[in-house]
Amino acid sequence: MATNENLPPNVIKQLAKELKNLDDSPPEGIKVVVNDDDFSTIYADIDGPAGTPYENGVFRMKLLLSHDFPHLPPKGYFLTKIFHPNIATNGEICVNTLKKDWNPSLGLRHVLLVVRCLLIEPFPESALNEQAGKMLLENYEEYARHARLYTGIHAKPKPKFKTGAISESTTALNVDQTNTSVLNSEVKNAAPGAAMPFQPPLGQSAATVRVNSLEQAATATTDTLVNGSTAATVVPAAPIPQKKETGAARVQADKKKIDARKKSLKRL
């Protein structure tokens, strides 16, 4: 069991029980962060209530418990910056539950729920942040704009990434970078005059490059045999007969024969 010199053993025992209950069945929009080695400071993450300027924000707060707890109320502070009439610029929370309305029978669950309700319904009459309180009374739209601005800047929840969610473009980029790194490494380590490993150009498959290489090799061999120092006779390949042209020639020849016969019949 956790121990703390600032809290009596019976209070620690009661807090341990209450914190376990909060962990097993947390209040809506509230997540308690427990430090098992120190129950005198209780942290909680509060989700901004829907329909308020604090919506989509996550606000970290803490409750400081004194040696006289629960006879004296805890002190509450927002660690996340927030524009709110009842929360001072240093984060101190002003709510009656933590002051004149405190009762030793009230538990941590009740305190946390009251703080979250404060985000839904502020009390500008007892404002610690006078600018926010005055703006709320005189121009709610301007107050809401300021509050949303603070929420968007300071209370953004941490993004959650899906495991293994890698786009094809990213994968291709990584593969290209890996191939480039391997090729550079081989270039550095290769001996002078040594043949370098073949790398297909970007956007061409290995099969396509291989066919092109064979064609280039055949052309180079022919040039060497003709122009090189090696004495050799290059016999050109026989042209492949084209069936379409041969057929057309036969038709034309037959037509000439028919025309000649017609002329002979006319003479007769």
Of 137, 30, 128, nearest to 88 by C-alpha is: 128
Backbone angles phi, psi at 44, to 5 degrees: -150, 145
DSSP state of 244: H
Which residue segments constitute the domains of the chain, with CATH numbers given? 9-154 (3.10.110.10)
- Quote the pLDDT of residue 37: 80
Going from the C-alpha of 67 to that of each of 2, 73, 87, 106, the distances in angstroms are 15, 11, 24, 17
Q: Provide the residue-wise pLDDT of the chain in tens; the chain has 268 residues.
A: 444 667 888 889 889 999 999 999 999 999 998 887 888 999 999 999 999 999 999 999 999 998 899 999 999 999 999 999 999 999 999 999 999 999 999 999 999 999 999 999 999 988 999 999 999 999 999 999 999 999 999 998 866 544 444 444 444 445 455 555 554 555 455 555 555 555 555 545 544 545 455 455 545 444 444 344 444 444 445 555 454 445 566 666 766 767 776 665 555 5
Q: How do 58-64 and 41-47 pair as beta strands?
A: antiparallel
Is 74 within 8 Å of 66 (Cβ atoms)? yes
Which among 151, 130, 137, 128 has a CA at the least distance from the CA of 57? 151
Q: Could you confirm whether 117 is annotated as catalytic?
A: no
In the prediction, which pLDDT does 39 show? Answer: 87
Tokens linked to 105: 């029978």
Taken in order 161, 54, 132, 107, is the CA torsion positive or negative?
negative
- From 32, 94, 135, 155, active-site residue: 94
| pTM of the predicted model over 0.75 | no
- The answer to whether 69 and 103 are in contact (CB under 8 A) is no
Alpha helices in the chain (DSSP H): 9-24, 108-120, 130-138, 140-154, 168-189, 206-227, 243-267
Show Cβ contacts of residue 102 under 8 Å, excluding neighbours closer than 6 positions: 72, 73
